[in-house]
Chain A
Amino acid sequence: DTGVSQDPRHKITKRGQNVTFRCDPISEHNRLYWYRQTLGQGPEFLTYFQNEAQLEKSRLLSDRFSAERPKGSFSTLEIQRTEQGDSAMYLCASSRTGTGVSGELFFGEGSRLTVL
């Protein structure tokens, strides 16, 4: 399978704990995106990388959230001191600039976070 993969698929944690999600994009894709989706809502943009550079961050991304893509391949999204409001599906997507349909993001299946 050469699609976008995310790990873990589901994480249950207690309030105040730290969690980290990993995303492996499609190998030739230079852009990587993180979105958050809560129940009954559409995905909301969090941040995106072009290669290893983080080019844009949403105001939704508080100081407790940090994302990295150190070598321009996989990315991690860490949430520190989790709160119940952080419970959501965290979606990763990737794309390749200059080819294909502009705006065609390839999404992973998501990492569901439940904060108790």
Chain B
Amino acid sequence: GEDVEQSLFLSVREGDSSVINCTYTDSSSTYLYWYKQEPGAGLQLLTYIFSNMDMKQDQRLTVLLNKKDKHLSLRIADTQTGDSAIYFCAESSSGTASKLTFGTGTRLQVTL
């Protein structure tokens, strides 16, 4: 079945860039997503990328997709303390997002 893997923890200094990585196994993934989970809050969609794209930029967020290596990354520029959260990579191969497969999540800690 589908598998999505992420590193568990990342610590960065405020103002630096953060890069969170994800690998997936399903070659038929059509959409890939980054969700953010803050303590006591529901998951929230941060950004997404279609599988026929290599890169997507949205303000401080840059998503890079290497479809050949099945590798997805999320870069957060000028990381702030408010970015501290768990970031989940997710993929959908259904095209209509009836089911998302999530990674284990990467906890981002931003230090002063």
Contacts and interface: CB of A to CB of B under 8 A. Distances in A.
Contact of A42 (B40, B44, B96, B102): B102
B98 interface: yes
A103 B42 contact: no
B98 A101 contact: no
Q: Which 9 A-B pairs have the closest CB atoms?
A: A42-B102, A107-B42, A103-B97, A107-B43, A104-B45, A45-B99, A103-B31, A43-B102, A109-B42
Contact of A40 (B4, B96, B99, B104): B104
Interface range for B = 20 to 34
Contacts of A109: 40-42
Given A42-B88, A56-B98, A95-B97, A105 B45 contact: yes
Interface in A42-79: 42-45, 48, 55-56
Interface of B: 4, 8, 31, 33, 40-45, 48, 88, 90, 92, 95-105
Contact of B42 (A41, A45, A56, A108): A108
Interface residues of A, number: 27
Contacts of A104: 45, 48, 97
Contacts of A55: 98
B92 A3 contact: no
